[in-house]
Amino acid sequence: MPDPGSEPAGAASRAATVSAESSRGPESPVTSRLSCESDPELARLLATHAGVILLRLRGTLRAAPPERLRAEGDQRAHEFLTAALRRLRPGDAVLSEEGADDPRRLEAHRVWIIDPLDGTREYAEPHRSDWAVHVALWERGAVVAGAVALPGLGPTFSSEHPPTVPGQPHKPLRMLISRSRPPAYAAALAERIGAELVPMGSAGAKTMAVARGEADLYVHDGGQYEWDSAAPVAVALAAGLHASRVDGAPLRYNNADPYQPDLLVCRPELAERTLAALAAVRT
């Protein structure tokens, strides 16, 4: 399996080519024809184009201090996504990691949940590819569409066209954990289920690695928010994966408090075994 942190040559040019379908310039509003696209397709196109903006900024500011690159990346992707949604879905609410929370979203029937740059630490590290853009749509109690762009690798995955999970798990299992905030019980859980630990950045990158078959499960228990998991979970569920809280409870979105501290994404045949192991190591 390729190093999850290595960025392949040509990734920027591949993503830039894809962006041509959604905009006439790197940061201009998406074309008016997108207003006729389905919600899943719009999520995919917006996530893809935000990723192109981030790749180009990364190239322009490659000599800048990491904190400047992180801040500008977050802001520019946020501004693009929120401006596009205001234009193309003016009646919908938006919950963004980088924006002020508007409590009116709690009364809305449709809420876009976005993370303009998931994995800011990795984004500011040259040659790392484990960062992402998340765009999801919550509607009347459920996340109904989602897209995760992995600009450093090239592809954008969507709930409409999810990846195909390969047939067999690894031996030993490959368990993804956060590079910066792994669960305190990660080693104990890995030993109990027979897994090796694989640190990686962005929640979206980790979830898509499970969906692509590069890993078998992803466990997080160190604090997250709804924008960290909404789009990745939408794609994961569409691909046939299991996704839940680490105690097995369902994931719910558009809550008054968007804090969502933990997450399990895994191959469906591993869910029962992993949840039982989690119950044992978390007590």
The average confidence (pLDDT) of the chain is: 90
pLDDT at 42: 96
Could you tell me the CATH superfamily of domain 11-158? Answer: Fructose-1,6-Bisphosphatase, subunit A, domain 1 (3.30.540.10)
Banded model confidence at residue 57, pLDDT cuts 50, 70, 90: very high
Arithmetic mean of pLDDT, 96-118: 97
Which of residues 99 and 31 earns the better pLDDT score? 99
HSE value, Cβ hemisphere, 13 Å, CA-based, for 249: 8
**Per-residue pLDDT at 222 exceeds 80:** yes
d(CA 239, CA 211): 7
What are the start and end residues of each CATH 3.30.540.10 domain in the chain? 11-158
Buried b (16+ CB within 10 A) or exposed e, 185-207: bbeebbebbebeebebbbbbbbb
What are the start and end residues of each CATH 3.40.190.80 domain in the chain? 173-281
Banded model confidence at residue 20, pLDDT cuts 50, 70, 90: very low
d(CA 280, CA 283): 6
Backbone angles phi, psi at 157, to 5 degrees: -105, 140
**Per-residue pLDDT at 32 exceeds 80:** no
Q: Per CATH, the architecture of 173-281 is what?
A: 3-Layer(aba) Sandwich (3.40)
Highest mean pLDDT range out of 112-116, 123-127, 164-168? 112-116
**The whole model's pTM is what?**
0.89
Which residues have CB under 8 Å from 219's CB, separation 6+? 175, 176, 177, 183, 186, 189, 246, 263, 264, 274, 278
Banded model confidence at residue 22, pLDDT cuts 50, 70, 90: very low
The reply to whether omega before 172 is within 30° of 0 (cis) is yes
